[in-house]
Structure 1
C-alpha cells in the first residue's frame, strides 16, 4: 500500500514551483493548468525563455514573468528564489527534464560521455540547495538501458539525497493517456516524509473504453493551407516538385526513402515528434492529407500545445522547443496525480477539464465533425 498524507492547507492554496531546463514550456504550461504557480524557470536557450515570457498573461492560469536564460551550471538556488520572490521552505515542487539527447536513440546514446548527460547532476544540485517538498525529473525511455542500466540506478539512488526523498520511477507511453502521439518517457517523482506516488493507470488504448486520440483529431479545425492562415507558427517548408510527388505516393505510415520521415496515419496517434540536429533543426513528419512536411504548429498540436501558445523564434528554434517538450496535457494530468498523492488534494480535474483549461478545442467534443477545415482555429 502506498503511504499518503492527509489533506493539508496545501490543498487549498497555490502550490509554488520552480522549473529547470524549461524549454518551450510543456511542463510549465501543464503544471500551471493544474493549479501550480511557476515562480521562476531557467533554460540555456534564450528563445525558449522568451517563449515563456511571450505567453505570460494570455490566460488567467498562466503568468510567467521570470525566466532566466543561462547555463544551469551558472545558476544557483539563490538566483531562482530571488526571481520567484520565494524562500527555500516555500518551494513545494521543482520540475524539469535535463537535456535528453545524450540518452536517446536519436542522440546515439552517448550518455555521460556527452556533456549534456552530465547536466543531470546539476538538477540534483538545485534539489539539494532548495530542498522542495517534491520534485519531478523527466527524461527519455533510453535512460533505463544505457550503460547497462547502471546510470538509471545511479540517478535513482542519488535523487533520494541519502534518504531524504522517497523516489518513484515510472515509464509512460503518453498515447495511453489521451495524447495524440506515441512518446515514451520516464518520470522520477521524489517526495519527502516517505510518500510514494503510484503509477497513473492508462486511460486510452485499443482495448480500452477510450480509444487512442488520433492525428485527425489533433489536426481538426486547422487549415491545411498554412499560407495566410493567421495561426502562429503554422508556416511550412517549400518542397520541390520531385519531393511533392514522392510524398503524394506514400502510404499512411510509410517512410520516405530520401528524407527518412514517415507519412502520418490520420486514424492513429502521431509518430514521436523529434528535435533533429543543431545544424538543421530537424524535420516534421509528412502530413496525412497534403504532400508536405507538417508545420511546427501541426507538430505542436500532436504535442497538445494550444494554438494561443506562440513559440518565439523561427525555423529550428521553434522545432527544437516543440520536439523537446513534455506534452502539456500529459504534464497537467501528471500534475493532478501528484497533487492528490503527494500533497493530499481531494479533488482531481478530469482530462476534459484540463484540456478545456489549456484551450485544446481540437481534443474536445464529438468527432462527428472532425474534418480539417480551411478556417483558422
Structure 2
C-alpha cells in the first residue's frame, strides 16, 4: 500500500460517509494531516491498527493472482447480463457451458464478444437444466431481488417460489454442482428485517448445501475504481463441505480512482478511448458547469440551488447524488443505469458532460475491446447492471482455489 491515503479514500475503505469521517476527526478518533493545498490525508503507518488498512498492507493479492485451476472447471451462469461476472470468472479459469439471459441486447453483447459461448436468450423459468446433472462444477447467478412472500411457515425452498432466486435454486436442484454462488445488492442482507436472507439460507439448507457466511464485498478493495458493494452467497454441496474451506479474496493494496480508470497507468495501458455519450440540455449544462470536482448541489449558489432542486430543496436528507460531479482522485459512486438522471448524477470530473459508454465500462473494469450492443440507453443499462469484472475475477480465483481443494480430495 502507498505511504499515504487521502481522507476521502480512507472513508471509502471504511465504508463510511464523509460526515462520519468529520465526526471522527472532531472527536480525535482519526485526525488527518493536511497537504499544501489543504487536502486531508493520513500516513498509512499511523493506521496500521485499523483492520481494514492492515488487511490491505498484509494482503496476499500477489499469491492469489497465481492460483490456476487444476483442470478447466465448467460453469453455468443465470441472469448473465452483459458479461461482467462471466468475464471475471473466465479470467480466473472457468469454462462456461451455458449463459442464460432474457434481455436481447445483453445476449447480443455476449454473443458478439464471445461467439463460442452458448447463450440461451430466454426466460429462465422455461429452461430445464436436467441434462447438466452431475456434469457442471459451478453454477452462479446474480438473481434480481424481487420481493419475497412468506406464505409458508418454514421460509425455505417453497417460500421462494415466484422469485428469481427460486429459479437459481431449481437449477441447483437439477444440476447438483459442487459449488454455487448467488450475488445481489447489499440491501438484500437487511431486506424485510433479515427475513429474506433467512428464507434464502433455509432454501440452501433444503437443497443439501452448506452456506459460507455471506459477505458484502466492496468493489474498491479489488482493483475496481467504484464504490459498488455486492452481497456474495457461496454454498458448497454437503458431501464436500466438511472437507474443504472457502477463503474470501484478499484486498488489493490500494484504492483505484477515476484517474486510474480514465488515463494510462496501473489499471489500463492507454487513456480511455473516445465513445458515444449522453449530452446535457443547455439549462442543466449551465448549472453543472458551476459544480466543482467532487462537489454536488450544495456547492452551487443558493439561488441556483433553490431553482435546480425545486420542491426537494426544503426536504431532509443529503441528496448527495444530485448535481454530482465525480472526482479524479476518488473512485466513482456506484454506477446506475443512466448517467444523467437528476437523482443519480454522474458528471465527468473535469468536463461538463455525463460519462461516456467507454468511461462507464472502465469504471466497471471491462476491457476496452468488450463492445456493447443496442441503443445508447441500453448500453448504459447493461454496464450499470454488471458485476465489475475485477471483483468477479477476485472471487473467481477464490472459487478456483476451493475447487482445486475439492479436486484433490
When the two structures are superposed, what TM-score results if normalisation uses the length of structure 1? 0.73
1:301: which partner in 2?
Answer: 362
Task: Please state how far the C-alpha of 1:281 moved relative to its aligned partner.
Answer: 12
The 8 Å contact of residues 80 and 99 in structure 2, kept in 1 or not, is answered as yes
User: C-alpha root-mean-square deviation of aligned residues, in Å?
Assistant: 3.0
Pairing partner for 1:272 from 318, 334, 337 = 334
Looking at structure 2, the residues matched to 265 and 322 of structure 1 have their Cα atoms a distance apart, in angstroms, of 20
**Paired position in structure 1 for 2:247:** 198
Q: Which residue of 2 aligns with 1:105?
A: none
Question: Does the 8 A contact of 1:160 with 1:167 survive in 2?
Answer: no
Residues 262 and 282 (structure 1), Cα distance of their counterparts in 2 relative to 1, 3 Å cut: closer
- 8 A Cα contact 1:88 1:131, kept in partner: yes
Q: Equivalents in 1 of 2:322, 2:161: separation in Å?
A: 26
Question: What's 2:82 paired with?
Answer: 24
Whose helix fraction is larger, Structure 1's or Structure 2's? 2
Distance 1:289 1:36, change over 3 A: same
Matched, 1:177 2:239: no
What is the distance in 1 between the residues matched to 2:249 and 2:70?
23
Match of 2:135 in 1: 90
Q: Which has the larger radius of gyration?
A: 2
Q: How many residues align?
A: 300
- Give the conservation status (yes or no) of the 8 Å contact 2:93–2:400: no
1:16-165 aligned at under 5 Å gives the runs 16-56=74-114, 63-64=116-117, 66-78=118-130, 81=131, 87-100=132-145, 102=146, 112=149, 118-165=163-210
1:216 aligns with 2:259: yes
CA distance in 1, matches of 2:148, 2:197: 11
Deviation at 1:237, TM superposition (A): 1.8
Deviation at 1:128, TM superposition (A): 0.5
Out of 376, 387, 392, which is 1:326 matched to?
A: 387
> Is the 8 Å Cα contact of residues 31 and 332 (structure 1) preserved in structure 2?
yes
1:284 deviation in Å? 6.0
SS of aligned partner of 2:381: helix
Change (3 A) 1:175 1:88: same
Unaligned segments of structure 2, at least 5 residues: 1-67, 151-159, 266-270, 298-307, 310-320
| Partner residue in 2 for 1:366 | none
Listed one character per residue, the Cα deviations across residues 222-250 of structure 1 (whole Å, up to 9, x for unaligned) are 9xxxxxx9958x21123233222222211
Once residues 212 and 237 of structure 1 are traced to their aligned partners in structure 2, the CA distance between those partners, rounded to angstroms, is 28
Q: CA deviation at 1:167?
A: 3.5
In structure 2, do the counterparts of structure 1 residues 238 and 251 end up closer, same or farther at CA, with 3 Å as the change threshold? same
**Is the CA contact 1:30–1:328 (under 8 Å) kept in the aligned structure 2?**
yes
Change (3 A) 1:243 1:221: farther
User: What per-residue deviation string (whole Å, max 9, x for no partner) do you get for residues 254-296 of structure 1?
Assistant: 234559352111000100011259xx89976100010001012
Say yes or no: does 1:255 pair with 2:280: no
CA distance in 2, matches of 1:11, 1:36: 8
- Structure 1 gap ranges (5+): 1-9, 58-62, 82-86, 103-109, 204-209, 223-228, 347-377
